[in-house]
Chains A and B, each alone.
Chain A
């Protein structure tokens, strides 16, 4: 706490407004002033630990040369030009999008199916729900390692089981993590495995919040099965689905450790998403300018996409 406080006093000072004396004022502080006071410490910490680094990031993105003082100079938008034209970075952006779509769509379909199943079975299935929750608690680095172990070419248990049930002729037929055409899908598996639970959890809570009389009414109108799902359940789940999709989409797009531990972005960069590219640009190629410019663009795109998603799917105005 203390280092943060030391780092931030100039910003904290103007954030506490003078009491303005609202109608329900107590002890000299209006509701609005009190609310601001409650939120101020969190805001200050976020400004110091996120705002400041991001300002530094943008400054770095406008400079070239390594950050060690040897020839760091102002470079204008040159790094942005590099970030936008470099074929490696462009390919990584494409892979990040593909990876995110694979993860999010698989999780939504699986998560919704399992949530509906558990909802249908009711509280008696609680033990199953709890067991299903566990992958959520496991470290991504452990999950990545585990799936790498499951999918080791020709000696992994996945290929062994697939061979035994007759889907593969030979355990060596599929090289999950060394086939460049397949690897982006393979590295997504632990991510899907880890967080489908999250999707299920959120959607299940959403399903529980739907008043049963709505279903009764729809049933009386003759709606059944899929029709009930499409015209009653899904529209009512819309805000919940939106939140889950946005959170998972953002996290999938930023995926780093799961991929690093499985393939380190290989083979031939076929599983290298933007976070890995940025990390390598910074740490391996010692090019902080390009790394900063790429990060800045990456962040802006994510924010714009998420904002559009919030405004179009979630439509928060309609809820309150």
Chain B
């Protein structure tokens, strides 16, 4: 009986610890969101308070009315969509070719994408300014999306390869026996099986572009400026205007949070794919 009690106490303590970890971990972001709803003066009050005395949307209105902010959101969306589609279209066949057939060229591409991840973004970004300029893509969402593909594509190849790796080989063999061609088997049978993995990969590719800063800083000036740059410019142009800045930062985090929430079960499913295959 006391043994049972001890086990219960221990489980209770573990739950308490887990809740505490999540609360402490979540606090910074909650504080950001709360601050964004405070009147601009209260946002920089001394001493600071956690809860707003009064809720207001003023900071959001101020932030969105700043020139270029709305346009930067449109740029961020279009850049991230192009970068994600391009990365997925290239990474799906590549990752399948690499994991299924294990040729030397495939291993080379795999190692190559790992090496790309190790290149400092500055090293790629600075020469890309000239190269994309020569292609007439300076300060365009397409040009920025191409640059961000250098981040999203290797990431997608690695993630997809690990999802394909966790898939039983019999699935493809059954499809081939049923008379499917290799490519049809990939499209009709294999991709649906790893759809969770595809969704997770697409999210990560999207976020890699959505959150990217350095290429956007180097490759855009006015027309194609994305929101991370707009956020950064906020402080130099308007001093440390914390109220509107927290509002814009909150707003920019919404799509990422919603996307993860919608596909959350698939993320967990995709990640435990390797574990449940046996």
Contacts and interface: CB of A to CB of B under 8 A. Distances in A.
Interface of A: 1, 3-4, 6-7, 26-27, 31-32, 34-39, 41-43, 45-46, 49-50, 52-54, 56-57, 60, 67, 114, 117-118, 120-121, 125-126, 128-135, 137-142, 145-147, 149-150, 154-157, 160, 171, 193, 196, 201, 204-205, 208-209, 211, 247, 250, 253-254, 256-257, 260-261, 274-275, 278-279, 282, 288, 291-292, 295-296, 298-299, 302-303, 306, 310
B266 interface: no
A114 B18 CA distance: 8
A134 B257 contact: yes
Given A52-B127, A138-B256, 7 more contacts: A34-B101, A35-B105, A38-B97, A42-B93, A42-B153, A54-B124, A208-B272
B127 A53 contact: yes
A296 B103 CA distance: 30
30 contacts: A3-B142, A4-B146, A34-B182, A35-B100, A35-B103, A37-B97, A45-B90, A46-B112, A46-B153, A46-B154, A50-B116, A50-B119, A57-B124, A60-B127, A114-B21, A125-B15, A128-B19, A131-B26, A132-B22, A134-B26, A134-B29, A146-B31, A156-B48, A205-B274, A209-B274, A256-B122, A260-B213, A292-B123, A295-B122, A302-B120
Interface residues of B, number: 91
A46 B103 contact: no
Nearest to A277: B122
Given A134-B257, A209-B274, A32 B101 contact: yes
Interface in B113-148: 113-124, 126-128, 130-131, 135, 137, 142, 146-147
Nearest to B99: A35
B90 to A, nearest CB: 4
B21 A53 contact: no
B78 interface: no
Given A35-B106, A256-B121, A128 B18 contact: yes
A310 B153 CA distance: 21
Given A34-B101, A41-B93, A49-B128, A141 B120 contact: no
Judged by DSSP, the binding face of B is: helix
B172 to A, nearest CB: 12
Interface stretch (B64-72, B187-195, B245-253): B245-253
Contacts of A132: 21-22, 25
Q: Which 9 A-B pairs have the closest CB atoms?
A: A38-B97, A35-B101, A257-B213, A42-B94, A53-B127, A295-B123, A139-B211, A137-B256, A38-B93
B157 interface: yes
A310 B115 CA distance: 12
B199 interface: no
A131 to B, nearest CB: 5
Contact of A32 (B103, B124, B126): B103
Contacts, number: 261
A25 B138 CA distance: 45
B175 interface: no
B47 A160 contact: yes
Contacts of B97: 34-39
Judged by DSSP, the binding face of A is: helix
B120 A274 contact: yes
A298 B147 contact: no
B29 A3 contact: no
A278 B122 contact: yes
Contact of B253 (A52, A142, A282): A142
B253 A137 contact: yes
Contacts of A296: 123
B182 A138 contact: no
Contacts of B239: none
Contacts of B77: none
Contact of B25 (A60, A135, A154, A205): A135
A281 B140 CA distance: 25
Contact of A56 (B47, B131, B246): B131
